[in-house]
Structure 1
Amino acid sequence: MARPKPAWRPAPKEGVSASCVVTPDGAQPSMLSFLVQRLPVLNEAEWRARLLRGEVLDAQGQPLAVDAPYAARQRLWYWRELPDEPDLPFASPLLYQDEHLVVADKPHFLATAPKGRYARETLLARLQRELGLTTLVPLHRLDRETAGVVVFGVRPEERHAYQSLFRDRAVHKVYEAVAPLNPNLNWPLLRESRIETSAQFMQMQEVPGEPNARTQIELLRSDGEWGLYRLHPETGRTHQLRVHMLGLGLPLRGDRIYPTLLPEVPAGQVEDYDQPLQLLARELRFTDPVTGQARCFRSQRQLTLA
């Protein structure tokens, strides 16, 4: 039987949501000893220090005392340790803000939300800190390597209505990308294929079968051996634009996953920021399900063609 979701949870810290643990039936010397046994990522001294700082909360949001006696079936909240991260030297300017939505222009190399090694240096964490809005959630995601428009919801009670737009593909998306030229292709064109998970880690691939991915592609302009393309995805498969361009023999400039997966930069080392993936979420358009307004948000960033 699924455990019921809590009615209350603490606000995120540094963009990272609080984690929850429930004390089981039985006996323990203290709540401190339970935390050490159940969550040994921290030793007793580290858990004690957290308790003294008020960083473990009970179900009512009150700090747990360092000498609190053990009690079964109690919900405790805490925040996981955040890894060290280099500061990303790129701004993430606001494009729009009201009581319903916050829209930002994400730079390359910045994750949308905490995941894996990225926590403090994410777009969500930045906006929560800068705006003081701990209820912010991304209504969709962009890959860390992709720049452009990202929309966040402000009010929890409106979250489902906005996220349904993206789930139901009621949002018109426009991307731009830089890739090689192919004189044998006629523009514009429709690329449709079946995209499935590849045996290669992190990669997707086109396979035979009923198409599940469609992208309208046009060439905007060219310079030497490179072209600037506009892409209109009609579906939302993982890495769809990168895979479709690769299938046309046009791998995106700066792509570290296609056609060859390059090794990730080791933790603690600074990335080479000089060669970002040339993929930009240029525009998002939709009818606001809460206000009924026609919404249109455009990135102010430019890709490098020359």
Structure 2
Amino acid sequence: MTRRRVATRPPLPLRDGLGPDRVLVPPGHPPGTVRAFLVATWPDDDWDARFAAREVVDRDGSHLDPAHPCRAGLAIHFYRDPAPEIPVPFDLDILHHADGLLVVDKPHFLATIPRGRHIRESVVVRLRRALDLPDAVPAHRLDRMTAGVLVCTTDPALRRPYQQLFEQRQVTKEYEALAPNLRDAPFPRTVRSRIDKIHGEPTAREVPGEPNAHTEVEVVEVLGDHARYRLLPTTGRTHQLRLHMWSLGAPILGDDFYPVLRNRAQSDFTDPLRLLARRVRFTDPISGETREFTSRRTLSTDSGAPDSVAE
């Protein structure tokens, strides 16, 4: 019998949906104290208050006092408040919640995990705070600008089995997109290409070489100058669906990256990317039953239309 790997809990509990930060003292750091190291790194923080509250600990959860020696390799865990964020004005809809499996209908503009400038305004933090689910984590990712079905787990023992479904491509994923109507192009069609994404660059690109990205594209509905497309990817490269639609001559409406990089204000929640993770289907790794979840969200060609969920 395969033993499930249980995720290691952080040495400090979640607070307001967020786990503690961690910093590792670098090699060659000169002798000193933990307090001096932290003050030098984040001089504007109130470290004396954190030490007094016993909220500075090592990897084992042992409290560190201000005079503790600061040696190379020491892992220091502590709470820090993230920078203020503009709230995403759309709700996170629950599609399923039972037996450690939580499936949500993510709105546009909401990040999947806390990262970079989007910490509190993420699916993970919202779920942990609203439902008191400290172990809620996604089994896969959706881009911040993509809406739709997102599978999560709430039991650490179930984390790997469900994540492996997505890693091993054992999940059938169906997306929907609104894009220009390619009136004379034949559909359905298959798009295969090699996609390369350089770390630190916002966009990916198609390059010569053995294809590593594969998408089936169908027209579902013609809407005058636009059309509703069904996208069936069998791979999951970064920005794959955006690039493949652009390569066909039909960039997805509301795309901030392709064909032209657009700088968007953090407060601008109009003209979303018209890309929706419409449906996922898989064989449950625990029960063996077939699972299928479908988004209730709708896409509109109206750039000013708010993100909405069908009744």
Taking structure 2 as the reference length, the TM-score comes to 0.85
Specify the alignment match of 2:130 in structure 1: 130
Specify the alignment match of 1:36 in structure 2: 39
Q: What is the DSSP-based 3-state SS (H/G/I as helix, E as strand, rest coil) of the residue aligned with 2:15?
A: coil
CA distance 1:275–1:133, change in 2 (3 Å): same
- Structure 1 Cα separation of the partners of residues 159 and 233 of structure 2: 23
Q: What is the DSSP-based 3-state SS (H/G/I as helix, E as strand, rest coil) of the residue aligned with 1:284?
A: strand
Residue 62 of structure 1 and its aligned partner are, at CA, apart by 5.6
Conservation of the 8 A alpha-carbon contact between 2:12 and 2:20: yes
Letter in 1 for 2:272: P
- Structure 1 Cα separation of the partners of residues 158 and 188 of structure 2: 38
Q: What is the DSSP-based 3-state SS (H/G/I as helix, E as strand, rest coil) of the residue aligned with 1:134?
A: coil
1:289 and 2:285 matched:
yes
CA distance 1:7–1:198, change in 2 (3 Å): closer
Residue 52 of structure 1 and its aligned partner are, at CA, apart by 2.8
Letter in 1 for 2:271: Q
Residue 270 of structure 1 is aligned with which of 242, 258, 267?
Answer: 267
Residue 223 of structure 1 and its aligned partner are, at CA, apart by 1.5
Specify the alignment match of 1:61 in structure 2: 61
Specify the alignment match of 2:207 in structure 1: 207
Letter in 2 for 1:20: R
Instruction: Render the CA deviation track for 1:162-199: whole Å, top value 9, x for unaligned.
Output: 11111111000000000001112111111111212379
Question: Greater CA deviation, 253-262 or 67-76?
Answer: 67-76
Instruction: Render the CA deviation track for 1:92-133: whole Å, top value 9, x for unaligned.
Output: 011111132111111000001111111011111000001111
Specify the alignment match of 2:305 in structure 1: none
Residue 14 of structure 1 and its aligned partner are, at CA, apart by 4.3
- Structure 2 Cα separation of the partners of residues 277 and 243 of structure 1: 13
Letter in 1 for 2:295: S
Instruction: Render the CA deviation track for 1:252-290: whole Å, top value 9, x for unaligned.
Output: 00001000111242xxx512x221110000011111112
1:245 and 2:245 matched:
yes
Residue 293 of structure 1 and its aligned partner are, at CA, apart by 2.0
Specify the alignment match of 2:180 in structure 1: 180
Q: What is the DSSP-based 3-state SS (H/G/I as helix, E as strand, rest coil) of the residue aligned with 1:245?
A: helix
Q: What is the DSSP-based 3-state SS (H/G/I as helix, E as strand, rest coil) of the residue aligned with 1:166?
A: helix
- Structure 1 Cα separation of the partners of residues 69 and 244 of structure 2: 57
Residue 64 of structure 1 and its aligned partner are, at CA, apart by 4.5
Residue 27 of structure 1 and its aligned partner are, at CA, apart by 5.4
Conservation of the 8 A alpha-carbon contact between 1:14 and 1:120: no
Taking structure 1 as the reference length, the TM-score comes to 0.86
Specify the alignment match of 2:117 in structure 1: 117
- Structure 2 Cα separation of the partners of residues 205 and 58 of structure 1: 42
Q: How many residues align?
A: 293
Q: What is the DSSP-based 3-state SS (H/G/I as helix, E as strand, rest coil) of the residue aligned with 2:163?
A: helix
Residue 46 of structure 1 and its aligned partner are, at CA, apart by 1.3
CA distance 1:134–1:188, change in 2 (3 Å): same
- Structure 2 Cα separation of the partners of residues 201 and 21 of structure 1: 25
Q: What is the DSSP-based 3-state SS (H/G/I as helix, E as strand, rest coil) of the residue aligned with 1:280?
A: strand
Letter in 1 for 2:147: A
Identity of aligned residues (%): 41
Question: Greater CA deviation, 158-167 or 227-236?
Answer: 158-167
